[in-house]
Chain A
Amino acid sequence: MGDTLERGVCLPRVLVAGLGSVSALGENTAQLWDGLLAGRTGIKPVANFRQEHLRNVLAGEIRLSAAQREYAERYRLDSRIALFARLAIDEALRDAGWTRAYLQKKKVGLVLGTSLGMSLVEKSIDQLDECGGEQVDTYDDFADLVEELADAYRVSSEALIVTTACAAGTNAIGIAKDMIRHEGYEVVLCGGVDTLDRMKYLGHSALNTLTPTLIRPFTPERDGTLFGEGAGILVLERESLARELPTHVACAGAGYSCDAHHITGPDPSGAGAVKVMGQALEDAGIQPQDVDHINLHGSGTPLNDGMEYAAIRELFGPAAERIPVSSIKPAIGHVMGAAGALEAVATVLSLRDQKVPPTLNVVAPDPELPLNLVCGEARVAAIEHALSNSFGFGGCNGALVFSRVSADQRTDL
């Protein structure tokens, strides 16, 4: 992967400088990654809202720790969405080695994805039941959220919420990458954040998207998904700012498309998914045969998995059966607007450590969907380029390509 030439201009490479996450598997990225590699699950019965009349009471819910509560109190945060976002951003900035003061000297942007956020519940770090009182502030105005976060990190330029359902986190990272590559931004904080609440679980119960059991992606028994909450944050930066490390991971490509097919169901042909993956590969300047790992959308619904398989088969041909693929949703739940961002975090770590986490709850993959599904235990793999897919309600699709960059490939533009 080299720098891209556009109209004779050499475009800067975009590196992942820092990672941050909060998920059902832990308070930080190390806990998330350790849990994923060890095959642990963060799925448990919900405790933050009432369980009555739900199709399934299991979820990737986050039980706030004493430290997280103390953080919320210190910064006077009264909502889970702001709390998760700030915890993950703080960790990502620490990981990148940036201070807020240093960031103030740079051209910095903020792009976060979320789906419904806390639009259905009151601002609260504990009370997550449905509400609907005429004058209740349900935090439904995303302008408030983006303002709160931009002010907290003194983001001087663009601060943006991307709300493309379950593709939001992936789309946000794609936009952030292009801001650095094409628009002169030096650092962009990007990713996704989302929360669970009873209204969402009632809605997905009604839609039958919730499995009555567990998420079992790409198996014959797959019958739905379970949801989770949390945040995944990437600090993207221009290559010229990067620290001296033996290896970096670059955010190399992104794609966007829309099925224009159905409000909640994917186009079964997978045409939009083929397009979005192809666009991400083209953006990264690589071919399908260069891809060594795919972090699947892998939601475990019959329609989504079938569509994703059809699309991968169409784009990669018989090689689809060679590429190690995995879904982390069985471990942390489908984190909606943050799903793509947490999956991007896992993909970056797969590139760093050359390991693919296992897909939980899979005894035998569906022979009708023959992919090289990693299950049982983590697998060591040589990975130079990896793809991460997200497909959301409304037919919104997103894909990202991440690539390893060794020190001798650095251009330091």
Chain B
Amino acid sequence: MTCDILLTGIGLLSPLGGKESFFRALGEGAEAPWRTAGNASLPPGGLTELLGIKSPGLQIARYLDPLAKNAIVALEEAMGDAGIGPQAVAQDPYGFGILLAATRGPGATRDKAYEQLRARQGKLLSSTLFSNFGYNIAAATAAMAHGIKGPNLTVAGRSNLSLLLLRRARQLLATGRCHTVFTGFSESLVNGRAARPVSEWSCIFCLERAERARQRGARAGVVLTEIELESPGLARPRPCAPAFRLPRAIPQPLPLAALAAAETLDLDLGDPLGIGPEYLPLLQAGRIKATECLQGEKTGYIVLPVSSRHGLSLFGVARA
């Protein structure tokens, strides 16, 4: 399956704000105080309420789970960053797809429903809340908000999920299911599960078939070149694998400040969300550089080696 794919836009909603403020905060070494404290310190509306975001996309339904709100806003930013306006989508709605990862789904809505059900002595469940139970609610509402009618998929997986997500995105593009796919995460903690080292995040990338992006004169950040997924025990020997001697291990939870200073990272995270595509902006910003091995081979690739409990994966990108 061959297909040149460009990353043309990024949308991000994080406890540190949107993409720009996220980068600024990284540079300043800031950490979000609520990052390891669960979402107890977030307002009921989640990040969009905390950050005071007003987007017309948020008006599509009376009730939206924070996970859906974040995805709508992040996707809007990714579209803007990629230079794709609502008109372009309206002219070719099936040419655009959405592929999101959501391992825990809309936990805030589930918790709210349990609370309501207890109050109603187990007799009645709100149809509005039930309508928002689906793990695909973020992708579905983002599609409604932005008129995107191509493939709409939501997936979950093991700790190599973000790599797997990008591989599925590549499949959609390479097989011609759509020419542009918005892919990434929208996840949130739910009450009572604050032990996880992440809070609310939505990070969405605009990936496009290269010929389409070039045709419309898109500003291309990076090229998605290869994604390998193997597990220990079955991994076939890969010539360059032993050369990845990583300079240091980053402890969990990963301090954001460490990312800002990092050149290569060992992202040995146990949490399925730990290896998030939030690291891609670092590549784009040139904060993560090529390993010596690959520079020596003059491949021109910038490679982010990612090890997880499911084996070594190589996520390679090259400057366009």
Using a CB–CB cutoff of 8 Å, the interface residues on chain A facing chain B are 7, 52-53, 104, 115-116, 119-120, 130-132, 134-135, 138, 140-143, 146-147, 150, 154, 156-165, 171, 175, 178-179, 182-183, 199, 202-208, 256-264, 271-272, 275, 279, 392-396
Among B1, B2, B124, chain A packs the most CB atoms within 10 A around the CB of: B1
In the complex, residue of chain A having the shortest beta-carbon distance to the beta carbon of B118: A132
Does B212 count as interface, using CB distance less than 8 angstroms?
no
Q: Give, as a whole number of angstroms, the nearest-CB distance from A283 to chain B.
A: 8
18 A-B interface contacts by CB (under 8 A): A104-B234, A132-B114, A132-B118, A141-B104, A143-B272, A162-B154, A175-B153, A206-B126, A256-B152, A256-B177, A257-B150, A258-B140, A259-B149, A260-B147, A263-B131, A263-B140, A271-B149, A394-B140
On whether A161 and B131 interact (CB within 8 A), knowing A175-B168, A206-B124, A256-B151, the answer reads no
1/0 per residue, CB under 8 A from A, across B216-232: the answer is 00000000000001110
Q: Give, as a whole number of angstroms, the nearest-CB distance from B2 to chain A.
A: 7
On whether A394 and B137 interact (CB within 8 A), knowing A143-B158, A146-B158, the answer reads yes
Does B296 count as interface, using CB distance less than 8 angstroms?
no
- By the criterion CB–CB under 8 Å, are B149 and A257 in contact? yes
Does B117 count as interface, using CB distance less than 8 angstroms?
yes
- By the criterion CB–CB under 8 Å, are B171 and A53 in contact? no
Q: Give, as a whole number of angstroms, the nearest-CB distance from B77 to chain A.
A: 19
Q: What 6 pairs between A and B have smallest CB-CB spacing?
A: A132-B114, A394-B140, A203-B130, A142-B156, A258-B152, A156-B234
- By the criterion CB–CB under 8 Å, are B148 and A132 in contact? no
In the complex, residue of chain A having the shortest beta-carbon distance to the beta carbon of B273: A143
Q: Report which of B131, B143, B157 forms a contact with A258, defined as CB distance below 8 A.
A: B143
> Which residues from B are CB-within-8-Å of A156?
230-231, 233-235
Q: Give, as a whole number of angstroms, the nearest-CB distance from B224 to chain A.
A: 15
- Give the complex CA separation of A224 and B172 in angstroms: 34
Q: Give, as a whole number of angstroms, the nearest-CB distance from A167 to chain B.
A: 9
Does B207 count as interface, using CB distance less than 8 angstroms?
no
1/0 per residue, CB under 8 A from A, across B166-194: the answer is 01100110110100000000000011100
Does B133 count as interface, using CB distance less than 8 angstroms?
yes
- By the criterion CB–CB under 8 Å, are A260 and B143 in contact? yes
Does B155 count as interface, using CB distance less than 8 angstroms?
yes
- Give the complex CA separation of A115 and B118 in angstroms: 24
Does B134 count as interface, using CB distance less than 8 angstroms?
yes
- Give the complex CA separation of A119 and B133 in angstroms: 9
On whether A163 and B233 interact (CB within 8 A), knowing A130-B114, A140-B110, A394-B139, the answer reads no
1/0 per residue, CB under 8 A from A, across B65-90: the answer is 00000000000000000000000000
- Give the complex CA separation of A29 and B1 in angstroms: 34
On whether A146 and B157 interact (CB within 8 A), knowing A134-B191, A140-B104, A140-B105, the answer reads yes
Q: Give, as a whole number of angstroms, the nearest-CB distance from A108 to chain B.
A: 9
Q: Give, as a whole number of angstroms, the nearest-CB distance from A177 to chain B.
A: 10
- By the criterion CB–CB under 8 Å, are A132 and B130 in contact? no
- By the criterion CB–CB under 8 Å, are B141 and A263 in contact? yes
In the complex, residue of chain B having the shortest beta-carbon distance to the beta carbon of A181: B175
1/0 per residue, CB under 8 A from A, across B246-290: the answer is 000000000000000000000000001000000000000000000
In the complex, residue of chain A having the shortest beta-carbon distance to the beta carbon of B133: A116
Size category of the B interface is 35 or more
> Which residues from B are CB-within-8-Å of A147?
158
- By the criterion CB–CB under 8 Å, are B155 and A160 in contact? yes
Q: Report which of A207, A208, A275 forms a contact with B149, defined as CB distance below 8 A.
A: A275
On whether A182 and B131 interact (CB within 8 A), knowing A158-B167, A165-B136, A258-B150, the answer reads no
On whether A143 and B159 interact (CB within 8 A), knowing A156-B233, A164-B154, the answer reads yes
Given contacts A256-B172, A395-B144, 18 further A-B contacts (CB under 8 A): A140-B105, A142-B105, A157-B230, A158-B229, A160-B157, A160-B168, A162-B155, A163-B102, A202-B125, A206-B130, A256-B152, A256-B153, A257-B149, A258-B148, A260-B149, A275-B149, A393-B136, A396-B153
> Which residues from A are CB-within-8-Å of B134?
115-116, 163, 165, 393-394
On whether A396 and B156 interact (CB within 8 A), knowing A182-B171, A275-B149, the answer reads no
- Give the complex CA separation of A314 and B317 in angstroms: 43
- Give the complex CA separation of A55 and B242 in angstroms: 61
Q: Give, as a whole number of angstroms, the nearest-CB distance from B264 to chain A.
A: 25
> Which residues from A are CB-within-8-Å of B154?
162-164
> Which residues from A are CB-within-8-Å of B130?
202-204, 206-207
- Give the complex CA separation of A70 and B116 in angstroms: 38
- By the criterion CB–CB under 8 Å, are A256 and B131 in contact? no
1/0 per residue, CB under 8 A from A, across B97-131: the answer is 11000111101001101110110001111110011
- By the criterion CB–CB under 8 Å, are A262 and B157 in contact? no
Q: Report which of B140, B143, B148, B161 forms a contact with A143, defined as CB distance below 8 A.
A: B161
Does B132 count as interface, using CB distance less than 8 angstroms?
yes
In the complex, residue of chain B having the shortest beta-carbon distance to the beta carbon of A147: B158
In the complex, residue of chain A having the shortest beta-carbon distance to the beta carbon of B232: A156
In the complex, residue of chain A having the shortest beta-carbon distance to the beta carbon of B228: A157
